[in-house]
Amino acid sequence: MALFRNDNGALKCRLHGENLWLLPWGQNALRVLSRPMREPELHPWALLEPKNGPVSIEIGEKEAAIRVGNLAAVVRRLDWPDRLEITYYNARGEVLLAERPGTGALNIQPRFFKPIVGGDFSLTVGFASDDEEKLYGMGQYQQDVLNVKYSTFELAHRNSQASVPFVLSSKGYGFLWHNPAIGRASFSRNLMEWSAQSTTQMDYWICAGDTPRDIERQYADAVGHAPEMPEYGLGFWQCKLRYWNQEQLLNVAREYHRRGIPVDVIVVDFFHWPHMGDFRFDEEFWPDPKAMVEELKSMGMELMVSVWPQISLKSENFQEMDEEGFIARCDKGMNCQMRFVDEDTMFFDATNPDARAYLWGKIKKNYYDNGVRVFWLDEAEPEYGTYDFDNYRYYSGTVAQTGNIYPQLYARTFYDGMKGEGQQKVVNLLRCAWAGSARYGALVWSGDIHSDFATLRRQVCAGLNMGIAGIPWWTTDIGGFAGGDPTDEDFRELVVRWFQWGLFCPVMRLHGNRVPDERVFRETGEELLPSGADNEIWSFGEEAYGIIRNLIDFRQTMRPYVRALMQEAHEEGAPVMRTLFFEFPQDEKAWEIRDEYMFGPDVLVAPVLDADVTHRSVYLPAGAQWTDLHNGKTYEGGQTLPCAAPLERIPVFLKNGSHPDWIGKL
């Protein structure tokens, strides 16, 4: 067989047992695979079937090239060491990305498959590093970092960490590491490197684009667009850990309704069930779910219900699920994957299609048929008691090889079920995501984070990089999850500042485990999981209440605008929260700002992210005029302004005279 061949518009190469494929996968994109000794497999982990444009392939003796739209790849055979090396170019012939260069006597391979004795391979893929390049994306990591150049990432999910291995480059390309294996990515000064602990092949996707918007659109086309957002995704969501009975939740809903405060969604949190894995309400505390849902709907509220993927050994469903193979397994030791409160649990296997169908059957009977139309899919990483990724196994394979796919398929479990029932618009809240999660209606929140300003600051970068990584629906627990006393003045300041930022998040949702706890008992005297302190907007004092209520009212004013942003995310793949450079790619300074962002195309947001702050500076990008939302004053872009930011004010600017009816209302 020849070294290079054109196989129906795909460039396929074979040398020393390696099969290297470059497949057209989009208008300006390639999917690149390599496998030792065997032909690669086209696993549908995240990538959908492509819609390709014209393709051209040229083959020479020691070099072959494939061009798809504005992206070209050249594969060269080197003399020393004897190997194949790939370089990617844009339409202007400029290098976008190149595999690590030939190293002569060092004999370092750009695609290095290291055998695992008796098994498959660990894989490392290296590319040359460009010191001037800026990189964004990679999902949600708890760090105050926007430009991820010179960063290293664990390719694994944890509580508050969602690994979505896509990066957008300032050089004009997007890159998806299309491999759900546990691994690592490093963007260092001398090398860009991707690795998988255990895999059978290399698989990645690369596209070329002239603007960040163009790259994001192509990426969404490749892995799927977010569906249309339901109307109840646009307003305020009320939640706490935890409303522990039906009357308590209804009384809160009635009080919001009495005060005339619009609430789109109110939430029943975890441990409303008898045992984990029962997937139903505990009748002692929730005697009539259908009537509860109906009363909430009469007040304009949807009920969201928490569902965990854990199956307790005490659950009424455990034996059947265990016998049917619907539960993840441990390769070594006892088959217990998490202990919570006093229950040993294992995880439902979301990668098993029969297990997904079984779980949806339980959800439909016990929740959906009672009127519940939105679900909180907690623990979606899943959250192992110990993150020994090499000790767990799914239907899809070992967690070491396939584990990062879990949250995507957990979202699919509910999306497929709800669409099968005829529901047109689906959104469900998850604590994790991977590439392709957005197409299954995944609204991701940033996990069980602390209640302090340092954590608030980290969420801004997390949300912006999640948008770049293809997850446009994203939110946080307003006020943070862990801790916070509603009577404490410092915490009240934090809640106000978090609410101000939350107003300009894709979904505006209050949640948290406030202190002190309220003890909860059964009628028998058995003590159950406690309920946190009050977490309604009137819980934080009169000053905070007045500010927060105004914020919720302004969210209603913005509702048509937010609806348009959600539609743009659905149609174009554009993030709702956007880096400044997304809208202003020609402004070099916009690529550096990490504590401001655009909420859609028109609204520049500069949140206050530190305690005891009453002023902050705001950079206004060049190429537009900017109107202060609070006082109507207009400024030319390309300058930094000092802005007043007393407790009741978040600096916000409107682009080019947009939304004049908003001025003075916040």
Catalytic residues: 378, 381, 448
Which helix (H) or strand (E) segment is 580 a member of? helix 580-583
Q: Are 129 and 187 in contact (CB under 8 A)?
A: yes
Distance, in Å, from the CA atom of 264 to the CA atom of 131, rounded to the nearest integer, reads 47
User: Which sign does the torsion angle of CA 230, 232, 236, 241 carry?
Assistant: negative
User: Which sign does the torsion angle of CA 393, 396, 402, 403 carry?
Assistant: negative
Closest residue by Cα to residue 426 from 566, 316, 236, 245: 566
Give the DSSP per-residue string, 449-470: -BSSHHHHHHHHHHHHHHHHTT
Fold of 579-662: Immunoglobulin-like (2.60.40)
Q: What pLDDT was estimated at residue 1?
A: 57
Fold of 4-223: Immunoglobulin-like (2.60.40)
Top-tier CATH class for 240-456+473-482+510-538: alpha beta
Sites in the chain below the pLDDT cut of 70: 1, 102-103
Which letter, b or e, does each residue of 79-115 get, where b requires 16 or more Cβ atoms within 10 Å of its Cβ? Answer: eeeebbbbbbbbeeeeebbbbbebeeeeeebbbbbee
Q: What are phi and psi of 487, to 5 degrees?
A: -90, -5
Q: Domain limits of the chain?
A: 4-223, 240-456+473-482+510-538, 579-662
Q: What are phi and psi of 620, to 5 degrees?
A: -105, 115
Fold match flag (4-223 vs 579-662): yes
Tokens 């390599």 — which residue? 34
Distance, in Å, from the CA atom of 417 to the CA atom of 338, rounded to the nearest integer, reads 27
Q: Are 462 and 176 in contact (CB under 8 A)?
A: no
Single pTM value for the model: 0.97
Q: What pLDDT was estimated at residue 666?
A: 95
Which helix (H) or strand (E) segment is 296 a member of? helix 289-298
Which letter, b or e, does each residue of 549-573 get, where b requires 16 or more Cβ atoms within 10 Å of its Cβ? Answer: bebbebbeebeebbeebbebbbeeb
